[in-house]
Structure 1
């Protein structure tokens, strides 16, 4: 008989819990949460009440707050913590992780200071492991509610990707492959910034035409920077590019969109973040995104306006006035 593959997910938030619940339908799965109450809720009641209300999780899913014990039995390790905590948690896992165990990232951000993508952080802390990511237009609550969705396992090793696909696939959650790790990862990180801009449009009530313009031009910005950093332009038309952008910019469940909407309604960034229990990655990433854009001489006017609101106290209304002042050029002049 084939030995079962033990999947271990690190992170007790909504998306990490959802991925763990999906994996548990296929193979033995354990999720580690830093908060003992969250771990106990998952293990004993098959719920993550703090982040997912009363949505049931797969009953075979185990929860723990003992990171060392969880990582030691991992055949596949999934990093589901926010990008700014990724280095710390990977470092805690390192002494307990067996050699050559594949590591998948769920994080969608860029590390402040180093400007590294999550898989680059993991590679620096956990060298010698096959590394990839699982990403796509995935809203945790919808997936647990039984709505169909799809994601991508991105890793340069096709055989590793083929082995990982069935661990997370279900009849309602389709998992594709993509060898373009750079493009797949950047699509997920950069769209969070555009989602804040889209939310501001809703908060300001500027209309669907304006919001569509911002989302579309935002995709052009994401693609420009993604290609400059080595991504395949085709990736940005797929699940981890356009797909993830659409879901994050349009859904009421999106944390980054919610940040923008509340900024558009007149709240300060401090007031918005004080009312949130989970991380909106775009808030932390936007300044780092602009640093990368400057290094590669890439124009990102929408990201610049988001940064001005988030980090410099500019109002959302003034930001949209700034976008109106942007001179129009050829629509495709800098996309590829």
Structure 2
């Protein structure tokens, strides 16, 4: 049996996609609300009905029975979740479905999981996807890093195509760093700087992503794949991206709904600290971190990026 821990948009969408193919899936949530009765996630995917093969529960005993657990909890909540449920999860196939860097440990999801569940088989699911598209059965391709062929086949469906990768570090850093660049792209559009500026930002942002990831041991081809470039393109060009919308609000200098999870905000702060510590040049990430901390104005941030020394590309 497959369990999905976390009934947010992405966790619910994965449960729907797998359940639609007749696979036994249990969707776990801290607070079910009326989901068990209505068979819908009213908050995140109100128009999508849960298949009959999907069971919803708030009982953590499900983690003892599951063979595979998809961890679809927010990155900043992952360690706390594992602290509470790690004993039941250790030794199982655990798939991280969150993107980011933990603020406390400055680690990605695979390292956080390994620290709490040292006997688990850890994989990372990431790439260009919106939960609504997955839930509707629209064609989506993702990277499944650190998994074998059996897990790849078990989690793939006719509309959800998973590509295996051995580069866990590259896959999770691609998914984390693109969120920061999506915020920056939103800033560009919110400030009215135009599509040409967004294209330049995405290009230089991709170079920045590669520079950081390669310094951490990632493979260059991983960043050029679904979990890096593919996800960057999607989240920098669509208002469906929460990170893009958050950046757009920054660019317009208006408030953003604090109830909406924006993984890239914490990631920007964590990566900015790591970049300073490790001597990695990350001007866009530093700019986003400074904007969020109100250490510089939008005008100052734009001027700082545009006045950097001229150099070869």
Task: Tell me the TM-score range normalised by the shorter chain.
Answer: over 0.9
Q: Offset of 1:276 from its aligned partner?
A: 4.6
Stretch deviating more after TM superposition (317-326 or 228-237): 317-326
- 1:87 corresponds in structure 2 to 79
From 288, 295, 308, give the equivalent of 1:326. Answer: 308
- 2:11 corresponds in structure 1 to 16
Aligned-partner Cα distance in 1 for 2:303–2:247? 16
Q: Do structure 1's residue 258 and structure 2's residue 253 form an aligned pair?
A: no
Q: Offset of 1:313 from its aligned partner?
A: 4.7
Using the size of structure 2 for normalisation, the TM-score is: 0.95
> CA, structure 1 residues 63+328, in 2 after alignment: closer, same or farther (shift >3 Å)?
farther
Please tell me whether the aligned partners of residues 228 and 296 of structure 1 are also in contact (alpha carbons under 8 angstroms): no
Q: Offset of 1:60 from its aligned partner?
A: 1.6
From 45, 58, 62, give the equivalent of 1:52. Answer: 45
From 69, 89, 103, give the equivalent of 1:112. Answer: 103
Q: Offset of 1:211 from its aligned partner?
A: 0.4
Aligned-partner Cα distance in 2 for 1:211–1:114? 32
The residue matched to 2:44 in structure 1 has which SS?
helix
From 227, 236, 241, give the equivalent of 1:240. Answer: 227
From 173, 176, 182, give the equivalent of 2:169. Answer: 182
TM-superposition CA deviations, 1:23-43 (whole Å, max 9, x none): 223421111111131xx41x3
Aligned-partner Cα distance in 2 for 1:213–1:47? 41
Q: Offset of 1:277 from its aligned partner?
A: 3.4
Structure 2, unmatched stretches of 5+, are none
Equivalence map 1:91-240=2 (5 Å): 91-97=83-89, 100-155=91-146, 160-240=147-227
Q: Offset of 1:328 from its aligned partner?
A: 3.1
TM-superposition CA deviations, 1:86-127 (whole Å, max 9, x none): 011112222323x53110001101111210111100000011
Please tell me whether the aligned partners of residues 264 and 317 of structure 1 are also in contact (alpha carbons under 8 angstroms): no
From 56, 72, 78, give the equivalent of 1:63. Answer: 56
Equivalence map 1:299-310=2 (5 Å): 299-310=281-292
Structure 1, unmatched stretches of 5+, are 1-5, 332-336
Provide the aligned length of Structure 1 versus Structure 2: 312
Q: Offset of 1:53 from its aligned partner?
A: 2.3
> CA, structure 1 residues 245+122, in 2 after alignment: closer, same or farther (shift >3 Å)?
same
Aligned-partner Cα distance in 1 for 2:157–2:14? 11
Aligned-partner Cα distance in 1 for 2:273–2:26? 37
> CA, structure 1 residues 62+308, in 2 after alignment: closer, same or farther (shift >3 Å)?
same
